[in-house]
Amino acid sequence: MGKNIVLIGFMGTGKSSVGQRLAEKLKMKFIDMDREIEKITGLPINQIFRKHGEIRFRSEEKLLAQKLGHESNLVIATGGGVVLSQENIEALRENGILICLEASPEEILKRVKRKKASRPLLKKEFGEKEIKAMLEARDAFYACTDFRINTNNKEPRAIVEEITRCLR
């Protein structure tokens, strides 16, 4: 049973774009957890938060993490908050190698600026200072992974190379 490769990390660290390319390279199936949750609920992420609240989103996220923990040969891009639940981490670790993608607050801000509307936790007035505080609050949670990769100023293709080197 081939292990899943699970990409973890803050919003804007490149989990989805890197994950897609990594799956192509390794000829594995790619799963983006946020997109799966959108399919399951029939609602975009920001609508799930607006209509049903974060608790509902986290419960969908938990159910999906449990399900994916029993599957194999997947590249999984998680949502940035998946690490906040120890149960999620344990489920994803069940048959997965956990890789954390990291980036500086400046870089994250640059990357998320364009797609702020689809990220309900990033309010309009969100800036570098707020991202830094949120990153610090979550740092201990991201420390649970097997590898940590800095993605600052790197193209997805270079990050994919780095991940494949880690996996060898």
Asked if 156 interacts with ligand S3P (CB under 6 A), we say no
**Taking contact as CB under 6 A, which single stretch among the options 87-95, 96-104, 118-126, 150-158 is the one that binds ligand S3P?**
118-126
Which residue carries 């060898």 as its tokens? 168
Q: Give the one residue of 81, 91, 95, 98 binding ligand S3P; rule: CB under 6 A.
A: 81
Asked if 79 interacts with ligand S3P (CB under 6 A), we say yes
Structure tokens at 141: 């949670």
Which amino acid is present at 84?
L
Phi, psi (5° rounding) for residue 153?
55, 30
What is the SS3 assignment for 156? helix
Residues whose CB falls within 8 Å of the CB of residue 72, separated by 6 or more in sequence, listed in order: 1, 2, 3, 4, 95
Of residues 23-42, those binding ligand S3P (CB under 6 A): 34
Distance CA 76, CA 53 (A): 24
Residue with Cβ nearer ligand S3P (15 or 21): 15
Q: For strand 147-150 and strand 29-32, is the pairing parallel, antiparallel, or unpaired?
A: unpaired
Asked if 121 interacts with ligand S3P (CB under 6 A), we say yes
**Taking contact as CB under 6 A, which single stretch among the options 19-27, 73-81, 97-105, 144-152 is the one that binds ligand S3P?**
73-81
Q: Give the one residue of 31, 45, 101, 159 binding ligand S3P; rule: CB under 6 A.
A: 45
Q: Give the one residue of 97, 120, 162, 167 binding ligand S3P; rule: CB under 6 A.
A: 120
Minimum distance from CB of 1 to ligand S3P (Å)? 27
Residue with Cβ nearer ligand S3P (27 or 143): 143
Minimum distance from CB of 112 to ligand S3P (Å)? 7
Helical H segments across the chain, by residue range: 15-26, 33-41, 45-47, 53-68, 86-94, 105-113, 128-142, 156-167
Point out which residues bind ligand S3P (CB under 6 A): 11, 15, 34, 45, 79-81, 119-121
